[in-house]
Structure 1
């Protein structure tokens, strides 16, 4: 079979049933003409904050801006150091730099791909002001361990929850652990807009007010600029789309979690060949923004061989991420070298993300697993 047509992401399953509602809502926005920070944005901000278990949500232009503006609102200034995992999307690092701070990279746990707090402890200096845990692939870093770490080192916790909409662990929801958190609503996220968008969530009213000012040219009120801000405002059309999608998010997350459990079951026999999923240590709280496997290279196959063969028969995959942050050419000035973060480097060399989205069928999961098995056994 040469054309299985199993996409990496299929947004049609969640978008098409809602298009009638979305169309009406967008027409309402057009009729009012409140395209920037309009009614739907305010309503979505309140609803999403409530869903995360916090008091305030502030919509911004992107997840990157949410990190940068959120950190500034939390009091991060030039010269401060922030602990960041080396295996994250580069936007995490960019957000720190845009806030004026220095990203101090640390290694990850090889099994979960989450930040390794023992490595982070070794990187703490007198200039360290915050830790920025990334709830990678939809699985949260332990809230209790994070809070213990932050308290013992007198650090702020600022969460990167861009891949973790409504993820849970230890009775906590992503975005509710630290002083503030950043979310992304990039279209392929578990909760995705029809373009770029982001949000800062927090329980702190002062931080919320400051982000509102920073996103709007540093103006707490019109034409009155108290600090250097930027133009980063979630537009009302995106707010309308996200507001309609939000009530369905838990159902979509549950579907992803069930698909992840099915993948685990189907791929378990391949452990003897060195194929192991990134470990789920939180059970149903993992929302599987991505389903990622770690492929131990052999003489006959490696990650690239498996990916190319799957692609040829119509199974799309991805790599998140092929180059760790410390080896990206643009950030060589940070002074890191190959070998500094062996776990992050190993994962970047060997991981593969398999098709995952709400609506993926059991027979598709079975087909992906069977084809990987065929590739490994036949070589």
Structure 2
């Protein structure tokens, strides 16, 4: 039986194995393990690629978002509006920055529902935090208009959206600060945990630079309470190896998304992501290919029997459904979405043949 895994970690390693080994020996022979030239090179490359003034490597994207909010002005009692269709990490970052996470509905593109934002604003609201999910950037014109109208800050959870654009501007560059994830399953991933925090604000950058390294400044003195959240220099070296191919990688993912669109759009029981180039305002990088499917649970079982890996994000729960965290909202559109959504394979180990096998299997399921 053919096998199409949801994500193929060994393939990533094998694709760069010799270059990874060279980077490992180079870093090891230099003893360059913490805050060294490889990290500086990586940060500069990302900042230039995204079009942001500062990119700082941190231990993970959750830390990056938390520190970005702390440095950008979120504090005790400040409400931050976010979309409930996201990883709990988004809410966690708000919480540990001192704020109060306020989940709202998901829109038709699986991102934050623009129409629900203003209804959630109170006298305590300090910021909006859109999650740029699945490699797509939200309608930032509409979000910025609301933010300006109500005097709110914007922070972005761009963990899944490196290189994604709205009207030619990259995810992670619209607000005070943002995060990018370098988790192994991301389009650009470490061989472990890692993340980035982005900002154009000089003051926020100085705070972040100190905050990620125990509050220490360029002079080595401790200027503030800080964290221990630095991107490992060895991981930065591995990322430098992979990043050279990033434009080609995103181009291939968009090609796969187009093939999915061609094959699956005829199946009436499915709702698909917006096709590449269908919306001139958006450049999507397709971190994931998340569809809505009738009889979703049965489809997942059927595809597993065919050797096809799938994933339902966040364990099948939206953030507001984690009631042990104190949430009590009812968000019917999001809850309906979570009964239908499923991610099918979208990774660089896939061949066109693999993709057609996935599509043939889905067609077969709905033909029965």
Interval of TM-score (by shorter of Structure 1 and Structure 2): over 0.9
**C-alpha distance in structure 1 between counterparts of 2:328 and 2:343, whole Å:** 29
Q: Residues 96 and 103 of structure 1 are in contact (CA less than 8 Å); yes or no, is this contact kept in structure 2?
A: yes
Q: Does 1:365 align with 2:359?
A: no
- Partner residue of 1:26? 24
| Aligned pair partner of 1:131 in 128, 132, 137 | 128
CA RMSD after TM alignment: 1.6
Q: Does 1:76 align with 2:74?
A: yes
- Partner residue of 1:252? 249
Q: With structure 2 as the length reference, what TM-score do the two structures score?
A: 0.95
**Most deviating of 143-152 and 63-72:** 143-152
**C-alpha distance in structure 2 between counterparts of 1:17 and 1:292, whole Å:** 25
**C-alpha distance in structure 1 between counterparts of 2:271 and 2:142, whole Å:** 25
Deviation (angstroms), 1:36? 1.3
List per-residue Cα deviations over 1:296-349 (Å, max 9, x = no partner).
3xxxxx111110111012011111131010111431x1332xxx1112111111
- Partner residue of 1:327? 321
Q: What 5-or-longer segments of structure 1 have no aligned partner?
A: 297-301
**C-alpha distance in structure 2 between counterparts of 1:325 and 1:44, whole Å:** 32
List per-residue Cα deviations over 1:101-125 (Å, max 9, x = no partner).
000111011x211101110110011
Deviation (angstroms), 1:221? 4.7
Give the 5 Å matches for 1:33-72. 33-72=31-70
| Aligned pair partner of 2:331 in 341, 344, 347 | 341
Aligned length: 364
Q: Residues 183 and 189 of structure 2 are in contact (CA less than 8 Å); yes or no, is this contact kept in structure 1?
A: yes
**C-alpha distance in structure 2 between counterparts of 1:130 and 1:30, whole Å:** 43
**Most deviating of 12-21 and 67-76:** 12-21
Give the 5 Å matches for 1:199-210. 199-210=196-207
Give the 5 Å matches for 1:102-251. 102-109=100-107, 111-221=108-218, 224-251=221-248
- Partner residue of 2:4? 6
Q: Residues 186 and 192 of structure 1 are in contact (CA less than 8 Å); yes or no, is this contact kept in structure 2?
A: yes
Q: Residues 167 and 173 of structure 1 are in contact (CA less than 8 Å); yes or no, is this contact kept in structure 2?
A: yes
List per-residue Cα deviations over 1:216-247 (Å, max 9, x = no partner).
11222576333221111101011101111112
Q: With structure 1 as the length reference, what TM-score do the two structures score?
A: 0.92
**C-alpha distance in structure 1 between counterparts of 2:258 and 2:174, whole Å:** 26
Q: Residues 52 and 198 of structure 2 are in contact (CA less than 8 Å); yes or no, is this contact kept in structure 1?
A: yes
**C-alpha distance in structure 1 between counterparts of 2:339 and 2:80, whole Å:** 26
